[in-house]
Amino acid sequence: MKIVIVGGVAGGATAAARIRRLDEQAEVVVFERSGYVSYANCGLPYYIGGVIESAGELTLQTPEGFQSRFRVDIRVRHEVTALHPDRKTVSVRNLVTGEEFEESYDKLLLSPGAKPTQPPLPGVERDRVFTLRTVEDTLRIREFVTGCHPRSVILAGGGFISLETAENLRELGMDVTIVQRPRQLMNPFDPEMAAFIHAKLRERGIKLLLGRSVEGFEGEGDAVRVLLRGEEPLTADMVVLAIGVTPDTDLAQKAGLELGIRGSIVVNQRMETSVPDIYAVGDAVQVKHFVTGKETLLSLAGPANKQGRIAADSICGKESHFTGSQGSSVVKVFDMTAAATGVNEQAARSAGIECDKVYLSPANHAGYYPGGRVMTVKVLFERETYRLLGAQIVGYEGVDKRIDVLATAIRAGLTALDLAELDLAYAPPYSSAKDPVNMAGFMIENLAEGLVRQFHWDEADALPRDGSVTLLDVRTDQEYGSGHMEGFLHIPVDALRERLEELERGKPVYLVCQSGLRSYIACRILTQEGFDCRHLAGGYRLYESAILDRAAAEQTFPCGMNRV
């Protein structure tokens, strides 16, 4: 059996190695148009910033290494220019010699990946306008940065690559600005969680121009003018386009394969396309979202590797199925870590799922052990069934551990209530006896049992200030004095029992504390005294972060907050 693989990196290279492990006699040929068959795509920004010092460290496997260990014929700088399913061949061009030829196959695997989204903007071809997707892109940017010593850069787009590149260039001392059309960075996160990421970037000196549209580029001596719709242009020494990626499926389209979202290749669970004996994997394919069951695109290395393995199994006659991706991801933002899995609130509602959520702000380990730092956790679940839908965490140490536990719980079909029962490792340097994941389960259990009701940060400013409800802040005097919401009476939780006569019975009570814990305790006190209570999920800390972020984007100060 002869297998031809178009494209290497995560999906193609994984499939090639897996095929050899399953079938020692198969003939395997890989065509890769770049000069690198298997490289650490996610590490590219860190080479630009010098964190990864040698370009060779980006290369996970060389053509020679593949040949030596797996006896796979790797042909880099060879571009497949056409597919011919009727005669089971592909047309290939040697990019070094210009030679063109046809290669036959019994099975064909497409792993073309995705290409940087490049809208047809005037001036996009200019020398100082870069994209970042391949090793060659990285080498060009690194050479420019080290040779020309640019002092400023504008990044168009706000996803993973953009944030990582922004951090690395900022660490080199450059003036960094991120511009994008959406009003928040990092789509996997809901706005109030993305606010913590925005704050960290601003703290480190990165300028955010959100809700702005780039319309083109012009030269200005040794600089680039970035044209913005309806605003004055920006000027920088270089520009990096990180607007996103588009499935690279021209070959599939011309060969008549069925296409799906944004021109992606439609595959089944065995990674088979609509044409017999042709398989496809990676960023070019449409997959089912594990949580919603809807078709989606997810450009992540983990799913691409799994798909490569499954395609290899299918080609070699094994029963293996890709059951969908839930988009688990993590990103470093200077000393901060942000991670997500499943769907966010917006995606859940778009899918027609009635969802609820809890927020908590625990330390990453036991409070009495030195060095603990707060993380913010958001867990989403379906209202009636308590099915886990997704989670987002922003913090420092321990974020990746918790998101992996929650991702596993979603994959295993656990409910949000089951989180309370998970038996997780504990020692003071690593966690608390009640791990943050367990705590999320306890909080959801309280909601399910009716022990507490919530209201949310984006509802707080709309609460009536006409005396028809009681607004109560139960934080300390110092906390209240450093900033509070307009119209909230202040009674610290520890004094609440002695000051109940100050609250008018018969009125609904809306409570707030710093993170939601003390307002929950206050709710329990008042509920048992006959009051109708709700508390602010996530507390004033979450509210303040979200409101200040909104104000920073609009360059106005929030009128609903009294700052001292």
Q: What is the DSSP letter of 513?
A: -
For residues 264 and 295, give the distance between their C-alpha atoms in angstroms, rounded to a whole number.
Answer: 11
Q: Is the dihedral of CA 194, 195, 197, 201 positive or negative?
A: positive
Rounded (10°) angle between helices 9-22 and 63-70: 20
Which SS3 state, helix, strand or coil, does residue 518 take?
helix
Which of 42, 148, 513, 523 is an active site residue?
A: 42
Q: Which amino acid is at 210?
A: L
Q: How far is CA 63 from the centre of its chain?
A: 32
Q: How many other C-beta atoms can be found within 10 angstroms of the C-beta atom of residue 182?
A: 13
For residues 480 and 487, give the distance between their C-alpha atoms in angstroms, rounded to a whole number.
Answer: 12
Q: Facing residues of 103 across strands? A: 90
Which SS3 state, helix, strand or coil, does residue 509 take?
strand
- What is the CA angle 250-252-255, rounded to 5? 110
Known active-site residue 513: no
- Cα–Cα distance list, 377 to 383, 398, 412, 436 (Å): 18, 11, 20, 8
H or E element that contains 503: none
For residues 150 and 198, give the distance between their C-alpha atoms in angstroms, rounded to a whole number.
Answer: 24
Q: Which two tokens stand for residue 127?
A: 């020398």
For residues 43 and 9, give the distance between their C-alpha atoms in angstroms, rounded to a whole number.
Answer: 13
State the Rg of the chain over Cα. 27
Q: Report residue 80: phi and psi, to 5°.
A: -80, 120
**What percent of the residues of the chain are helix, what percent strand, and what percent coil, each to the nearest 5?**
35, 30, 40
Q: How many other C-beta atoms can be found within 10 angstroms of the C-beta atom of residue 402?
A: 24
Q: How far separated are the first and last CA of the chain, in Å rounded?
A: 75
Q: What is the DSSP letter of 415?
A: B
For residues 306 and 267, give the distance between their C-alpha atoms in angstroms, rounded to a whole number.
Answer: 14
Q: Which amino acid is at 333?
A: V
- What is the CA angle 152-154-157, rounded to 5? 155
User: Which residues are part of the catalytic machinery?
Assistant: 42
